[in-house]
Structure 1
Amino acid sequence: MFKRVLTFIFIGCASLTFAQLGGESTYQFLNLVSSPRQAALGGKIITNVDYDVTGALYNPATINIEMDNQLALNYVSYLGGISYGTAAYAYTWDRRLQTFHAGITYINYGSFDGYDLDGNATGTFTGNEAALSLGYAYNIPYTDFYVGANVKLISSKLEQYSSFGGAVDVGVLYINEDLNLNAAVTLRNMGYQFTTYAGQQEPLPFEVNFGLSQRLENVPIRWHLTLENLQKWPIARPNPARAESDLEGNQTQEKVGFFGQLIRHTIVGAEIFPEKGFNIRLGYSFRRGEELRIADQRDFSGLSFGIGLKLNKLRFSYTHARYTSASNTNFFGLQIDLR
């Protein structure tokens, strides 16, 4: 069984390496950060195996019995007046079938003023997208490996254009209880546009991530390391704003070496008191920090920090993520124990 899973993963990677990063595929909202906790740890954390029902939106292999009857609602005040949110719920059927998971991701791009080619006003229009997912995880017998999958239906409407698609996420998780170490691989958004916006087929934002995390033995900290977008190398492009000019006016474009490419795939995070009722979370996305930093300014792009607070059957989460000096993002989350 495990060999079949690995074969499927390698075939998926080989057949979907054409997938690109932001701006080069459709349904980009599928790769947005799904919760305040994930955002605080730098984004794209795929190794948490606990009560956090929203984590399964990014890695279905983390679906577990602790998520039973947990309902999570998250809201993000995003950039440029955009807002989006997620909701997730898990239910344990019985000891044999274990836990099923359902989730929704929704984004609203706000209201826009429309104009024709001659500059005449045509009224306002809106744009929004949504994805509904159903997930399940399975423990490979007599091993410490877990596999999971999310099946997603995707709907998008941008002005008068609409599109409908479907995708599958696959995750593999390894848990070493002796070392308190988790390792995971995810293949996300393997799918297809069933109906296009205007007759042109577009790829989905396929993404491969690898993650590690460990609960330190004598210190109340769990550290996280994620390598994102492993389906593409190189990941960085020269920033025209960082081009250098000599005395004759000749420009030299920014060069990104091997280490610069490697670091842009890296996300680090740490959660202090991860198993207590009050948590402190810190994270840093090197790609966001490099792409959004302003030369000769210290704006802390890429940094994020947040807190979690448990009160009886409620868990509150808040995260502030630094993007640029002009705009940053706040994440709000509420998880309810319905048991």
Structure 2
Amino acid sequence: MNQKVLFLLASLFTVSAYAQIGGRSTYQFLNLVNNPRQAALGGKTVTNYDYDPIQGLFNPAAINPKMDNQLSINYNNYIGDVNYGTVAYAYLWDRRTQVIHAGITYINYGNFDGYDEQGNATGEFGGGDVAVSVGHARNIPFTDFHVGANVKLISSKLEQYSSFGVAVDIGLMYHYEEWDLQVTGVARNLGTQITPYDIELEQLPFELIFGASQILNNIPLRWHFTLENMQRWNVAFSNPDRETTDLEGTVTKENINFFDHALRHIIIGVELFPESAFNIRLGYNFRRGEELRIVERRAFAGISAGFGIKLNKLRLSYAYSKYNSAAASSFFGINIDLQ
């Protein structure tokens, strides 16, 4: 594998370290935020149980009859000329079988100049991944619980290396309509590579996510609380850039404690006027904010915001996510009611 491909893989998947969650699996694009609403609420929100079919890509238990004939198209101008997007559609077959859901997630890493081990140019190359999913959910009879599953076929190509895999998402949601309360858990990316990039089969980015959300009584506000990466407790790590050295040359590493690990699992978000034609969304991702903050400089890492507008049968959404002072991302989306 030439140097440029190695650089690409290192940039996308992060160098592996003892406590980090990156660099341990392939197909990391599967866990990227998939629409502006989710991005604005801090990312990985799994508690939306409404018209939006794109939520079914992240939590199949959220697939419901309100998604019937809804089409969602989303595009993200990501970091470093990387672009990705999602498309989802749901169809109500009948009240017995409920809803059939289909979706596509793709990412284009752009074009790169290739070089061999001696530094000789080998020409331009590109890279990209795509996942196609089909999902379905059912209400557990005589309860407020819903269970759903997605099956995903995954294809990836990086320069001359390609891979194929399959994965399943399984979700369980408690939806109490009287209180407008959702409590949910989802196990994502249970699966395997079928065809590896080279010789060795790599792990998929398995993740456990839990969440809850509710509209407050007499207040037009929905809160969202999400716990991400619950399959691994120690997600915090000591950042070498935050080490300090005293006058005697003694190096003190960043102290990581129980509270640091706990906080990095949390994402919070709020939607103002969630059921109106215009709503505002705000979120904060604690792990992103802590890992990407710059010491002694305010960079607003981890903060995200956005809005949604309903125009007849169209819903337009936008989100802006801040990573650090040098990097941010804009997400655009449209929902179309095809009925």
Common fold, TM-score beyond 0.5? yes
Contact persistence 1:43–1:267 (CA under 8 A) = yes
Partner Cα separation in structure 1 for residue 332 and residue 180 of structure 2 = 29
Q: Distance in 1 between matches of 2:326 and 2:230?
A: 30
Which residue in 2 is equivalent to 1:212?
A: 212
After superposition, give the CA deviation of every residue in 1:264-319 in whole Å (9 maximum; x if it has no partner). 00000000111111010000000000000000111110000000000011000000
Report matched runs for 1:1-150 at 5 Å.
21-150=21-150
Moved over 3 A (4+): none
Q: Which residue of 2 aligns with 1:320?
A: 320
1:232, 1:199 → 2: CA distance? 27
Mapping for residues 159-178 of structure 1, pairs under 5 Å: 159-178=159-178
Give runs of aligned pairs for residues 177-188 of structure 1, distance below 5 A: 177-188=177-188
Match of 1:284 in 2: 284
- What is the alpha-carbon distance in structure 2 between the residues aligned to residue 168 and residue 22 of structure 1? 20
Amino acid aligned to 1:135: G
Distance in 2, matches of 1:83 and 1:70, equals 24
Deviation at 1:177, TM superposition (A): 2.5
- Look up the equivalent residue of 2:105 and give its one-letter code: T
Q: Which segment is superposed worse, 280-289 or 249-258?
A: 249-258
In 1, the alpha carbon distance for the partners of 2:184 and 2:217 equals 21
Shift of 1:96: 1.2
Match of 2:221 in 1: 221
What SS does the corresponding residue of 1:328 show, helix, strand or coil? strand
Which digits, 9 at most, give the CA deviation of each residue in 1:122-159, with x for residues without a partner? 11110000000000001000001000000000000000
Secondary structure of the structure 2 residue equivalent to 1:269: strand
Which one-letter code corresponds to 2:276 in the other structure? Answer: K
Contact 2:83 2:108 in 1 (8 A): yes
Per-residue deviation, 1:180: 2.1
2:237 is matched with which residue? 237
Q: Distance in 2 between matches of 1:233 and 1:182?
A: 24
Give the structure 2 partner of residue 6 of structure 1.
none
TM-score (norm 1): 0.93
Output the amino acid matched with 1:279. N
The equivalent residue for 1:268 is 268
**In 2, Cα distance between equivalents of 1:64 and 1:90:** 9
Q: CA deviation at 1:179?
A: 2.5
Instruction: Give the letter for the 1:86 counterpart.
Output: T
Offset of residue 95 of structure 1: 1.4
**Distance (whole Å) between structure 2 residues aligned to residue 26 and residue 177 of structure 1:** 38
Long gaps (5+) in structure 2: 1-19
Distance 1:282 1:76 in 2: 18
TM-superposed CA distance for 1:21, in Å, is 2.4
Partner amino acid for 2:26? T
Aligned length: 320
Q: Which moved more, 1:145-154 or 1:242-251?
A: 242-251
CA distance in 1, matches of 2:33, 2:278: 22
Amino acid at match of 1:118: Q
Q: Secondary structure at the match of 1:37?
A: helix
Is the CA contact (8 Å cut-off) linking 1:21 and 1:205 kept in structure 2? no
Structure 2: how far apart are the matches of 1:146 and 1:27? 28
Deviation at 1:178, TM superposition (A): 3.1
Partner of 1:153: 153
Q: CA deviation at 1:24?
A: 1.4
TM-score (norm 2): 0.93
> What is the aligned-residue identity percentage?
62
What SS is found at the alignment partner of 2:54?
helix
Match in the other structure for 1:13: none
